[in-house]
Amino acid sequence: MKPESPSNLQRVLSDGKFAVTAECGPPRGADPEIIRRKGELLRGHVDAVNVTDNQTAIVRMSSIAACVHLSAMGLEPVMQMVTRDRNRIALQSDILGASSLGIRNILCLSGDHQTFGSQPDAMNVFDIDSVNLVHMVKVMKADGKDMSGFDLISPPRMFIGAAANPFADPFEYRVIRLAKKIDAGADFIQTQCVYNLERFREWMRLAREEGLTEKVHILAGITPLKSEGMAKYMAKKVAGMDVPESVIKRMGGVPKGKAAEEGIGICLETIAALREIKGVHGIHMMAIEWEETVGRIVEAAGLSPRPQAA
């Protein structure tokens, strides 16, 4: 990729195409084959592969390294970066490093609190928050300055993403916070997994009313459910997740052997519904350790083939 060319994801979205990205969690180990295998399962089905940064506060191969493995395979990565583990000095340094390695998309997050992870005895950082991180990348990119105001010799090139959770409380404030992320410099937004379509539609309506959908590309989060147990777990145990009772019932209403199919069915119906919502410019698939299902869902949803990379 030429340094001045935009990311593939940016191109797909600016062309007004419905984008598809998928999440890819790096392994708890140093073997690059695991990330390559996941990448291979996603090849051709997505516009970019979103690589998590020590998600759920569990130590994994670094997002930057995993992104580079995917890049080497010809896949476009979205590098997640959380403010939990790095202060502003390390964040800026890693952004410059990532840009030097050809990484062109970043998703700015605060990160799961370390008490959820395998090393709850760790100190967190949280020097800056996710909105600050978005702003920092924007200033580095657009003004060519680091946070001290120093003129960077060569600014990083990043298509900037941020997260939004339409299902968290307080609901009315969620759109104000989305606006803040957009003002700070977000180019695209990934949402929490959508199971509660009604609430998501309402959130999108509020976002449209504020004129936000004109300013940012919203990618709706999709996670296929494998079982009734998973639906219940997500509803009760996963912070910020909204899985309505009707969805849990539906997953429990079919024989166990058919539950995964039902989950995929729910996904396809959700995707179809999302495509009808004005302002939704794509989906982000988070098929946790079930990457092989992404291609099937994308094809069945009529989102194949993906636009060819430039």
Q: With contact defined as beta carbons under 8 Å apart, do 147 and 92 qualify?
A: yes
Lookup: tokens for 175: 């759109």
Least CB distance to other proteins at residue 34 (A): 28
Residue that the structure tokens 């307080």 belong to: 170
Binding mask 111-140 for other proteins (x = CB under 8 A): --x-xx-------x-xxxxxxx--xx----
232 is a site residue for other proteins (CB under 8 A) = no
Of the listed pieces 45-53, 64-72, 157-165, 245-253, which binds other proteins according to CB under 8 A?
Answer: 157-165
- Of 36, 43, 177, 296, which one interacts with other proteins (CB under 8 A)? 177
Sign for the CA dihedral angle at 36, 22, 41, 48 comes to negative
Task: Please name which of 221, 269, 279 lies closest in space to residue 246, comparing C-alpha atoms.
Answer: 269
Looking at 238-305, which runs of residues are DSSP E strands? Answer: 280-285
Sorted by sequence, the CB contacts under 8 Å of residue 261 that are 6+ apart come out as 254
Least CB distance to other proteins at residue 270 (A): 19
Q: How far is CA 308 from the centre of its chain?
A: 21
58 is a site residue for other proteins (CB under 8 A) = no
CA dist 283 and 50 (Å) reads 12
- Of 44, 240, 253, 302, which one interacts with other proteins (CB under 8 A)? 240
Nearer to other proteins, 35 or 91 (CB): 91
- Of 10, 92, 105, 192, which one interacts with other proteins (CB under 8 A)? 192
210 is a site residue for other proteins (CB under 8 A) = no
Lookup: tokens for 266: 């729910």
Least CB distance to other proteins at residue 130 (A): 8
As a residue count, the chain comes to 310
Least CB distance to other proteins at residue 158 (A): 18
Binding mask 6-45 for other proteins (x = CB under 8 A): ----------------------------------------
309 is a site residue for other proteins (CB under 8 A) = no
Cβ-defined contacts of 88-94 (< 8 Å, 24+): 88/127, 88/128, 88/136, 88/147, 91/128, 91/133, 91/136, 92/136, 92/140, 92/146, 92/147, 94/64
Nearer to other proteins, 16 or 170 (CB): 170
**Cα angle value 247/249/251 (rounded, 5°):** 70
Nearer to other proteins, 62 or 124 (CB): 124
- Of 43, 101, 102, 183, which one interacts with other proteins (CB under 8 A)? 183
164 is a site residue for other proteins (CB under 8 A) = yes
- Of 184, 220, 247, 267, which one interacts with other proteins (CB under 8 A)? 184
Sorted by sequence, the CB contacts under 8 Å of residue 294 that are 6+ apart come out as 22, 41, 42, 45, 46, 285, 287
170 is a site residue for other proteins (CB under 8 A) = yes
Q: CA–CA distance from 36 to each of 1, 49, 155, 202 (Å)?
A: 20, 12, 29, 39
165 is a site residue for other proteins (CB under 8 A) = yes
Nearer to other proteins, 164 or 220 (CB): 164
CA dist 48 and 10 (Å) reads 10
Q: Which residues bind other proteins (CB under 8 A)?
A: 83-84, 88, 110, 113, 115-116, 124, 126-132, 135-136, 147, 163-165, 168-170, 173, 176-177, 179-180, 183-184, 192, 239-240
